Amino acid sequence: MQNDIYHTVITSPWTAFCGGNNEEEENETCVWFAEQGDVVAIRDTKHPDRPELRFTRAEVQAFVRGYARQHRLTS
């Protein structure tokens, strides 16, 4: 049976993470994250009416590792 991440119901609370690119809170770049099992959902805080993007936990981990390596953020 294939795990369809778009049929997983997200019941976990959403947590906002902000980029700190602006000192004025109203213009801050933020996204909301929620995790449910192996699913990580990401939503734009400025457009909460738009559908969220969904990824597997492994996809998010691979992205973070690749980004950190590319930008020399790891030792």
**Main-chain dihedrals φ then ψ at residue 61, nearest 5 degrees:** -65, -40
| pLDDT score at 28 | 75
1 in any annotated domain: no
- Predicted model pTM: 0.78
7 in any annotated domain: no
| pLDDT score at 18 | 86
Tell me the residue range of the domain where 42 lies: 15-70
53 in any annotated domain: yes
Instruction: Provide the number of structural domains found in the chain.
Output: 1
8 in any annotated domain: no
pLDDT per residue, tens digit, the chain (75 aa), is 356 899 999 999 999 998 766 666 666 788 999 999 999 999 998 888 999 999 999 999 999 999 999 999 876
Q: Rounded distance, CA 32 to CA 13, Å?
A: 10
* Tokens 């390596």 belong to residue: 69
Q: What count of other Cβ atoms lies within 10 Å of the Cβ of residue 40?
A: 22
Reduced to 3 states (helix: H, G, I; strand: E, B; else coil), residue 8 is coil
Helices of type H across the chain? 57-70
Q: Rounded distance, CA 6 to CA 40, Å?
A: 10
